[in-house]
Amino acid sequence: MELAPKEVFPGDLFLLKIKIDRSSPDSPDSPNAEFAGKMIDFYQDAADHFIALVPVDIDTSPKKYNIKVKSGKNEKIAHIRVKPYKFPTKKITLPEEQVVLSAGDLERSKREAELLESILSRNTERVWNRSFIKPTDTALSEMFGVKRIMNEKHNSVHRGVDYKGRTGTPVKAVNSGTVALKEDLFFGGNTVVIDHGMGLFSIYMHLSEFHVSAGETVSKGQLIGLVGMTGRASGPHLHFGIKLQGVNVNPESLFKLEL
């Protein structure tokens, strides 16, 4: 049994890998395990392993967790340490009319949040293939988990990362999947959501141009759009998010994994 990495921060994801026991006369059954009250979803890879990507919610208490893994008659315990991390807080002052939405905008943003939620809660067959790549080669301008306090009262948590980039910088699919959404959203502007299967989604916002259509199958590295500043953005950048089984996770923890 292999756990990578063995220590994580809240908001990261980790990899759990179990070798299939070929000495057992039974055909291999998918292992059974649970983390933070949620069942872990395994898939079988070509090299006779069961693999799971496990999300650690940003609100998870820092401590050592035991994961009991049952595979056929075998039972093993894996240990994962969630380390404490103090996410930075940023105070932002904006004209009040940019913070308080009109009734129409509020209605629209609520409707779009529900649409996103319904897409991001799907669980389809796995399409991703091996490791994930970054959507652009540019540096980050804003980290995951930053708490923003706008005009001293409106709090929000940055549930993705921001990549620097001039308008027109190419944006690539981080792995293979299907375009689950291609819409102009109030906050996200031109937004693409790719469904990679098994409840894993990548989200790309503020694009200046779309280069895919809804329902299209995309492959890893394919151009899906261009960086822009559509929607609520103060300048051109790519807001990028990863959602895994209903949990927003730090994309950087996914890019580090060797799959």
Residues in the site for Zn ion, rule: CB under 5 A?
162, 239
Nearest to Zn ion of 233, 259 (CB atom): 233
Shortest separation between residue 172's beta carbon and Zn ion, angstroms? 18
Peptide bond into 5 cis (omega under 30): yes
Closest to Zn ion by CB, 197 or 241: 241
Interatomic CA distance for residues 69 and 29, integer angstroms:
12
Contact 195, 228 (CB under 8 A): no
The least CB distance from residue 18 to Zn ion, in Å, is 35
Distance from C-alpha of 201 to C-alpha of 123, rounded to nearest angstrom: 10
Tokens of 77: 């315990």
Task: Give the Cα separation of 46 and 28 in Å (integer).
Answer: 13
The whole-angstrom separation of Cα 151 and Cα 2 is 46
Query: Which of 39/92 has CB closer to Zn ion?
Result: 92
**What's 95's DSSP letter?**
-
Contacts of 48 (CB under 8 A, 6+ apart): 19, 20, 22
Residue 35 CB, shortest distance to Zn ion, in Å, is 27
CA–CA distances in Å: residue 180 to residues 109, 125, 153, 167, 170: 18, 13, 34, 24, 20
Cα dihedral 93, 96, 97, 103, rounded to 10, equals 120
Q: Smallest gap, in angstroms, from Cβ of residue 231 to Zn ion? A: 11
**CB 237 → Zn ion: shortest distance, Å?**
7
Q: Closer CB to Zn ion, residue 196 or residue 239?
A: 239
Which CB atom, from 35 or from 201, has the smaller least distance to Zn ion? 201
Minimum CB distance to Zn ion smaller for 51 or for 146: 146
Query: CB of 59: closest distance to Zn ion in angstroms?
Result: 19
